[in-house]
Structure formats: C-alpha cells, structure tokens
Amino acid sequence: MSLYCAGSSYADGIIDYELFYEQAHQYMTASFVPDGFDCLRDSFLGPYRTEDNPLAVEQGRCFGSQEKGGNHCAVLSRAITLAPGESARLVWMLGEGGRQEAERIRQTYSDPAAVDAAKADLAAYWEDKLSRLQVQTPDADMNTMLNTWNLYQSEVNILFSRFASFIEVGGRTGLGYRDTAQDAMTIPHADPEHCRGRILQLMQGLTSTGYGLHLFDPAWFGPQPEKPAYKSPTVIPTPERASIVHGLEDACADDALWLVAAVAEYVRETGDLAFFDQVVGYADGGEGTVYEHLTRILDFSAEQVGAHGICKGLRADWNDCLNLGGGESAMVSFLHVWALGQFVDAARALGRTKDAGHYEAMRRAVADTCERELWDGSWYLRGITADGRKIGCQADTEGRVHLESNAWAVLSGAAAPERGRQAMDAVDRYLYTEYGLRLNAPSYTKPDDAIGFVTRVYPGVKENGSIFSHPNPWAWCAEAMLGRGSRAMKFYRALCPAAQNDKIEVRQSEPYSYCQFIMGPDHTAFGRARHPFMTGSGGWSYFAATRYLLGVRPQFGGLLIDPCIPADWPGFTVTRVWRGAVYKIEVQNPHRVEKGVASVRCNDQPVEGLIPPQPAGSINEVVAVLGAPAAAGEKEERGTMA
C-alpha cells in the first residue's frame, strides 16, 4: 500500500495523502502555512545521503515531491526569522483521515495550550496503564523492559495488530488469527476492553467447523455487540459469509487453539464469567455462545489427527514454513493439551462439571498419545511427515532439535517431569546462544518439501535456525514450571533487548523492542536483529516473565503467587492491579531457593492457596516467603499451572 500527495496546492496548509487501497487517507498539516513540502523520502534526503545530511535541510527548501508508490515521508518547511532572545513555537500534525479531519485537527491543535493538554492526557493514559503492573527485581534490564517497554509494545500490537509495520507494508490486510489471539491473551490487565473486542472479532472469524480464518477483515462480520448487552451482533447474510470462508486446505492447525487461552485469561483478569455466555456469529453462518465456540475449537483438533493420533499440521502449525500438509504436528497436539486444560479450568469455574469431566478425559488422552508417539529418547519430535518420517529425531542430521515442541511438551503439562527435564536440557545444549534460543538446529541445507519451505530458507535466517524470538518465552515458562529459575533467567537475559544495548553495532535494532528474529550462528550476520516491534514476542515475553518467572498469575478464583527465580535473588516486589484492587506483593527468598512458596500472607493474614479477590479500590499488602512448599495450597489450574 502506497501513499502519495493528492495535490500540489498547499496554500491552505494541508497536504492530503491518499491510500490507493480502499481510498483511505492520511494527512499532514501544521499551525503555520508552509513554504514547501516533500512526500518522497529520497527527494527529501537527496542522492547518496542519509538522515544525517538531508539535501532539503542543507538547501533550506523542499522540492514538492509526490507520487504513487515509492518510499514516503511527510515534510513541511517554513522559513522564520528570530530576533535575539525571541522564540517561536510551531506545531506539525500527522494523522489518519481526509481533508475535513485535517482541518478539524489543525484548528484544534494550532493552539499550543491544546497541544500541552493533549500531551498531558497522553502521559496520564500511559501512566494509568503502566501503573497496573510494576516490578522491582535485582535485574535492572528486566525492570526496564517489564515496567515500560514490554507493555508498550504489546499494547501497540493490540491496537494495530500487524496493520502498521515497516516490514509488512503491502503484504497483508486484516487480522492474523494466531497473532491477534496471543496479543489479546497477554495484556488484559492493562487494556481489557480492547482485548475483549479483539476476542469477539476472532470469535466471528471462527467457522462453525472449529477452525479460524487465518487472515480476515473484521468488517466482513459487522459491528461488535456492546458490553454488557450479551446478545448476537449484527452479521452479514449467510450466502455472502459463505463466499469469504476458505476451505480446510487454507486452515492453520494452531490458529483457533490460541483463542481458548485468550478467553480464559480475559475472564481470569476481569472475573466476567458471563462473557462465556455471550452469543456471537460464526464466519460461515449461524451463531453460538463464546463457550460453544471454544468447544468447536477443541473438538476440531480432536478430529483432525493423523495415523499416529497426533494433530495434523494442515497448512501450517504456527511455523508457517513447516508445511506438513497431511503430516502430523507435535506442537499442535501439545497446544491442544494446553487449550483443553484452559477450558477445563473454565468449565469448573462455571460449575459445568459434565463438560469439565469430558474435556479433562480428552486432555489426558491427548497427553498420553503425545507421550507414547512423540518421545524420542532424549527430547520430543517436532512432527511426522505425510510419508511417515519423523522430524526432529536423534537420527536427523539437520533440524535435529526443535524449540517449539520441546518447550510446549512441558508448558502444556503433557510431559512427565523427568522427560521434561531431559527435553529442556536438549534445548539448552543444542539451541542456546548468547542472543537467545535457536528455533531449530542444525539449520536445514537440503530442500525437503515433505518437511516444508523451512528447508529452503537460508540457514540461520527466520524459521531455519535463527533465534526466533516468539517461542523463546515458551522455554522460560517451561523452565519455570520445572523449577529451574537460574536457567529460565539465563534464557531470559540472552534475548532481552535492554541487555544487548552494548552490542548495538551487532544487533542493529532498538534496545527496547523485541524483534521477530535474530540471525543465527549459521549466518554471517549472527546476532543481527530484524523485524522489530510488530511481533508477538513482546507480549509473550511480558506474559512469561510476569506470570511464570515472577509468578503472579490471576486465576478464576483468586491470585496465585508462584515464582521461579535464580537462587541468588534475595527477593523482589510487584505492584499489581487486579479486578480493581491493588496488591503490593513482596517476595522474600531467605533460603535462596529457585521455586517453592513456604507461606503467603495478605494484609497480615495467612493465606492457603489462592489470595481471594479483595474489594475494588482497596490496597493490599502481600508477603510471600519462598522455601519448602507448604502441604496446603494446591494450585487451582491444571492446564496452565501444573
């Protein structure tokens, strides 16, 4: 999608851009009438120049550049003369909309007082969001990331999904199913309404069969219902809906499974159990409750299994370059176990014991199948090709060990404890680098279409042996569940952008943004980070660090404190807003253990298990002491906390 200036006349102070896709517009304007403008970056900079020495700045004039396509910029120029001691304040404005909106914005913000008020409002907006979860740990880089930048990156992804990105420009329009579901899962405490809205959009993008539309435009399905009116939204007619729904050949096996956890996390955060009974339409017609949508998802994965009883990979299984087709995906089966656990927890919270029993039996059966079919002696397989070959086994010389399946074997709760430790030991041995965990190793060098396009990607790039950021936090969660806080923190720090600030000449990316991937050791640019910001890595890093390493996890019935930290940490603090109450949590580690809560007190009263929800508006002091776990305090959630 390209921008261009809709006209060269700018005497009225408004430069109107037109987005040729669906005729959307962006504008730039100012509190002054400009002398000139530029809309093309190359013209503004000039030949063989950079932002250090733009030709327009050097010559003191713009060139009136504009065209459809190309590499755009938004520049206005104005010559002013200042007497000694004199100052001038100019306001430049860029926004979404046509000329009418630009005129409204210019009239409003040409007044500097209005600009100052808007800036103060913006600061208050972010202060409110950031204050809902603040930490102080012995690791300064973790504090920097969790207290500011993780949430900021995650919030932007919730608002824009992957619509706005220097990397994805022109490559996609609409919501990516798996991306948006995971974005919504990670920050419901900071933005419950936007998370809820995204979840409802994804519900409408679910087919009645139980798979999601991998990429879809929410506008296809009409407006969302307004909370708290739990009723069916307006939907487009069934014949028209059917025409936009693709067949199973376009379905990705993992997409809709992420939605189960997104719903569970939203309700754990808000306590809004009635959300499960909201009625929403299906992409191909008809409607059902949110709860019924989730059962369709789980049943679909139970039906779509291959010869070994493992879930089919379909078009892709999170790794878009692992195109198993009729093959079987270990990751999807483990993800199925996890989603089933999330749903069982919800069914129990709703008092629907029959459903809880049915899906718990399914969860155990899928986990047993995974243990029987996917264990390869020292780690877990990545999958099985359509012709029956194992992927990620000890006999492989390329793609021998994979991160996704081994981390999810533990994170899902499917792996037996000893196998889980062995699997994550293999991850540490074969995949760890100073910049984070590789997605697989050794990199593929020989094309093999039975495995997928991943075997044709350059070694060390993206899905083929790079440090792919998104799945790295899954390993942190897995190690935390195994009780190995020092290793979890080792993995965390390797990927942490703030910890790489002194390697910027290698990293070549912002020290506050998680990037999609970092070149792996099989590439000459090992350590170079690429595709920043618009990636689910930020959300998952935030989720994993706060809920698993620091261990503050909302549940349906209360707040769980279950940290896993390095033994040399004396403790840490977390301030957490949950369901309208503030919890000031101090975790003490007098015995220098990595995991295990000996006692918890809330407002100086002993707590067994979960901290009950406290009154909205209250401020509560919580002290958790690590050590030998008390006999009481069984954890509530099997699927997420086992």
Q: Of residues 93 and 226, which shows the higher confidence score?
A: 93
Alpha-carbon dihedral sign for residues 504, 508, 512, 514: negative
Do the beta carbons of residue 396 and residue 377 sit within 8 Å? no
**DSSP codes of every residue in 522-553:** TSTTTT-EEEESSSTHHHHHHHHIIIIIS-EE
Asked whether the whole model's pTM tops 0.75, one would answer yes
Indicate the burial class of 290 (C-beta count within 10 angstroms; 0-12, 13-18, 19 or more): buried
Taking phi first (over 0 means left), then psi (-120 to 50 degrees means alpha), and beta for anything else, what does residue 624 get? beta
pLDDT for the residue 72: 87
Looking at residue 245, the DSSP 8-state letter turns out to be -
Question: 271 and 579 in contact (C-beta within 8 Å)?
Answer: yes
**What tens digit of pLDDT does each residue of 484-506 get?**
999 999 999 999 999 999 999 99
Q: Which residues pair with 582 in a beta bridge?
A: 577, 619
**pLDDT mean over 138-146:** 98
Average pLDDT of span 595-609: 97
Which CATH number is 3-110's, of 3.40.350.10, 1.10.3300.10, 3.40.50.1110, 2.70.98.40?
A: 2.70.98.40
Report pLDDT for 227. 41
CATH class of 375-549: mainly alpha
- The pLDDT, as a whole number, for residue 172 is 54
Distance, in Å, from the CA atom of 217 to the CA atom of 205, rounded to the nearest integer, reads: 9
Question: Does the 550-641 domain belong in CATH 2.60.420.10?
Answer: yes
pLDDT at 246: 66
pLDDT band at 220 (very low <50, low <70, confident <90, very high): confident
Alpha carbon separation from 579 to 49, 557, 567, 584, 607 (Å, rounded): 53, 12, 32, 14, 19
Q: Which helix (H) or strand (E) holds 288?
A: strand 287-289
**Distance between CA atoms of 396 and 402, rounded to whole angstroms?**
11
Taking the C-alpha atoms of residue 415 and residue 406, their distance in angstroms, rounded to an integer, is 9
Helix (H/G/I), strand (E/B), else coil: 583: strand
Q: Which of 117-131, 134-148, 157-171 has the lowest mean pLDDT?
A: 157-171
Note the residue count of the chain.
Answer: 642
Inter-residue contact 542 to 529 (CB < 8 Å):
no
State pLDDT tens for residues 233-286.
333 444 455 555 667 888 999 999 999 999 999 999 999 999 999 999 999 999
Percent of the chain with pLDDT over 70: 88
The string of pLDDT tens digits covering residues 271-330 is 999 999 999 999 999 999 999 999 999 999 999 999 999 999 999 999 989 888 689 999
For residue 76, what are the β-bridge partners? 37
Portions of the chain given CATH number 1.50.10.10? 174-360, 375-549
Count of H-run helices and E-run strands, the chain = 20, 29
Whole-angstrom CA distances from 577 to 68, 188, 202, 552, 617 are: 48, 11, 27, 11, 10
Quote the mean pLDDT of the chain. 90
Q: Reply yes or no on whether the pLDDT at 19 is more than 90.
A: no
Mean pLDDT of 439-454: 95
Alpha carbon distances (Å) from 339 to 56, 95, 104, 483: 56, 40, 47, 22
If 0-12 CB within 10 Å is exposed, 13-18 middle and 19+ buried, where does residue 329 land?
buried
- In whole angstroms, give the CA distance from residue 334 to residue 206: 21
Q: Where in the chain is the domain with CATH 2.60.420.10?
A: 550-641
For 309: left if phi > 0, alpha if psi spans -120 to 50, otherwise beta; the answer is: left
> What pLDDT, in 10s, does the model give residues 146-196?
999 999 999 988 887 765 455 554 445 678 899 999 999 999 999 999 999
Listed residue (253, 263, 262, 269) closest to 305, CA to CA: 253
CATH 1.50.10.10 holds for 174-360: yes
In this predicted structure, what is the pLDDT of residue 2?
A: 31
The catalytic residue positions are 320
Question: Cα(323)–Cα(253) distance, rounded to whole angstroms?
Answer: 11
Q: How confident is the model at residue 222 (pLDDT cuts 50, 70, 90)?
A: low
Higher-confidence position of 41 and 68 = 41
Three-state DSSP class for residue 62 = coil
Structure tokens at 59: 């010559």
Domain with CATH 2.70.98.40 in the chain: 3-110
Confidence of residue 629 (pLDDT cuts 50, 70, 90): low
State how far the Cα of 360 lies from the Cα of 340, in Å rounded to an integer: 7
Integer CA distances (angstroms), 404 to 39, 99, 266, 380, 482, in order: 43, 48, 24, 10, 16
Widest Cα–Cα separation across the chain: 83
Closest C-alpha to 89, from 107, 68, 115: 115
**How sure is the predictor about 13, in pLDDT bands with cuts at 50, 70 and 90?**
low
Three-class HEC string of 464-484: ECCEECCCHHHHHHHHHHCCC
Instruction: Work out the pLDDT band at 408, boundaries 50, 70, 90.
Output: very high
Structure tokens at 130: 């950031």
Q: Could you tell me the sign of the dihedral formed by the alpha carbons of 462, 464, 466, 469, in that order?
A: positive
**Rounded Cα distance, 283 and 175, in Å:** 14
> Quick one: what percent of the chain has pLDDT higher than 90?
80
CB under 8 Å, gap of 24 or more: what pairs does 315-320 form? 315/214, 315/249, 315/250, 315/251, 315/252, 315/253, 316/252, 316/253, 316/254, 317/252, 317/253, 317/254, 317/383, 318/178, 318/252, 318/254, 318/404, 319/404, 319/439, 319/452, 319/454, 319/463, 320/252, 320/463
Using CA atoms, how far apart are residues 377 and 395, in angstroms rounded to an integer? 11
Across the range 62-84, mean pLDDT stands at 91
Contacts 24+ apart (CB under 8 A), 289-295: 290/199, 290/203, 290/263, 291/346, 291/350, 293/203, 293/206, 293/259, 294/259, 294/260, 294/263, 294/343, 294/346, 295/343, 295/355, 295/359
Q: How far is CA 436 from CA 123, 488, 496, 513, in A?
A: 33, 11, 8, 15
Give the pLDDT of residue 231.
35
d(CA 191, CA 491): 28
